[in-house]
Structure 1
Amino acid sequence: MSGAAGTEPLEERELSTEQVFGGRLLNVWRDRVRLPDGGEGTREYIRHPGAVVVVAALPDGRLLFERQFRYPLRRAFVELPAGKIDPGEDILACAQRELREETGYEAASWQHVGVMHPCIGYSDERIEIFFARGLRHVGHAWDEGEFLEILTLSVEEAEAAIHHGEITDGKSISALYRCLPLLRSAGR
């Protein structure tokens, strides 16, 4: 909630900024900021180009998932198809590309469901959520060095996997939750 006349009483204003690391995917910044009480503070954060996640429903209502090894945690995770937005890329085009490349499916119907911010304490990353239906298998086109397994789960199986700790990926949990009303209305 903002304060009077559109001001944000909790806003922190940038005084200076410096990039402390620049990588292929992540860029780390350190800013000096003016705090709401007039004092100064330091904020370190990651700038990220943004990503998409796709809840893709097959004609029988099952959802496409992938199992992929994630190096930072040194294990494989079950997650929804997702990927980084390329510079200047339209978010729908990115979602269509990622679904095709990773799962081998194209969709006849696309709906933008919303956005989520997975790491608000240390990153500006946003993930655009899409719901795709009318799937047709055309063959995957994995990136070099990309290895994954494709699996399908019913909505109920996916919910149970979340509650049993088998799906712990935040973007997948959030996207599935945001799409549940659409999935349930499509099943009627």
Structure 2
Amino acid sequence: MRTLPRVRRGHSLRRKSPPDTLLQRERLTRSSRMTLKPWKKIYESTVYKNPYWTYKRDAFELPSGKHGEYHYVHTNGSSMVVPIMGDGTVLVINQYRYLMGRESVEFPCGSVKDGSTHEETARKELAEETGYSAGSLIKVGEFNPYNGVTTEMCQVFIARDLGFVGGTPDETEELELLRLTPAEIDAQIRSVAIWDGMTIAAWSIVKAKL
């Protein structure tokens, strides 16, 4: 027969939390984080510009007083769309990526041109690359795809209530339209069948909202 431990009156079997709990450590970490010193921009110059992005060169000064040059790409941003069909499957496109020399499965995405907005770009890219329009288009997050190289912020949209209107991709785009379940997207990311960083980042934002 199993016997219970003897407990002195006025004492509890419940273990008391140590004063240095995880929450307290997190609060301490947040309150004691050091303030990082910003770099000072001395001047900015444009090396090359096209309708999608601008290649810039800055001269900067470090907090130590040392000087240097920074080369980077400035853009108006980009929009990536995750289109959800009525049955819960997700539209993705397979296309050839010249720099990598291989095919890539991605969500529809495009750069924001001068005079356009992120939402307008999202609707345009969705129609061009998938042939569908969205009755509902909701922004769910944003991210920078490569913050050491570009100022670009990519806004992520979920598209629902889709209706087919016919696509007109750019002449440089040969696209294969695919439908995947969320589980299949997860599996293809794990197996590196989906390797595009922007698609993986967008999926990490969208997945929790499905």
Q: TM-score if structure 1 supplies the norm length?
A: 0.88
* Whole-angstrom distance in 1 between the partners of 2:37 and 2:129: 41
Gaps of 5+ in 1: 1-7, 184-188
Is structure 2 residue 174 aligned with structure 1 residue 147? yes
Residue 56 of structure 2 is matched in structure 1 by: 29
| 1:186 aligned partner | none
- Counterpart-to-counterpart distance in 2, 1:24 and 1:90: 14
Residue 11 of structure 1: which of 33, 38, 58 is its match? 38
Q: Compare relative contact order (CA 8 Å, sep 6+) and give the higher one, 1 or 2.
A: 1
Distance 2:48 2:134 in 1: 38
The unaligned stretches of length 5 or more in structure 2 are 1-34
Which residue number in structure 1 is paired with residue 114 of structure 2?
87
| 2:137 paired with 1:110 | yes
How far 1:18 sits from its partner (Å)? 2.2
Of residues 173-182 and 32-41 in structure 1, the stretch that sits farther from structure 2 once superposed is 32-41
User: Match of 1:181?
Assistant: 208
SS at match of 2:145: coil
Partners of 2:89 and 2:180 within 8 A in 1: yes
2: CA distance, partners of 1:42 / 1:72: 26
Pair 1:55-2:82 in alignment = yes
Deviation, structure 1 residue 109: 1.1
Tell which structure's C-alpha radius of gyration is larger: 2
In structure 1, C-alpha distance between the alignment counterparts of 2:52 and 2:102, rounded to whole Å: 20
Answer yes or no: is 1:137 the counterpart of 2:174. no
Q: Does structure 1 retain, via aligned residues, the 8 Å contact 2:144–2:152?
A: yes
TM score, norm. by length of structure 2: 0.79
Residue type of the partner of 2:106? Answer: E
**How many residue pairs align between the two structures?**
177
Query: Which amino acid counterpart does residue 128 of structure 1 have in structure 2?
Result: Q
Whether the aligned pair in 2 keeps the contact of 1:104 and 1:137 (CA below 8 Å) is: yes
- Residue pair 2:141, 2:155 contacting (<8 A) in 1 also: yes
Secondary structure of the residue aligned to 1:119 is coil
Tell me, in whole angstroms, the C-alpha distance in 2 between the residues paired with 1:52 and 1:70: 18
Aligned partner of residue 113 in structure 1, secondary structure: strand
| In 2: Cα distance, 1:133 partner to 1:53 partner | 14
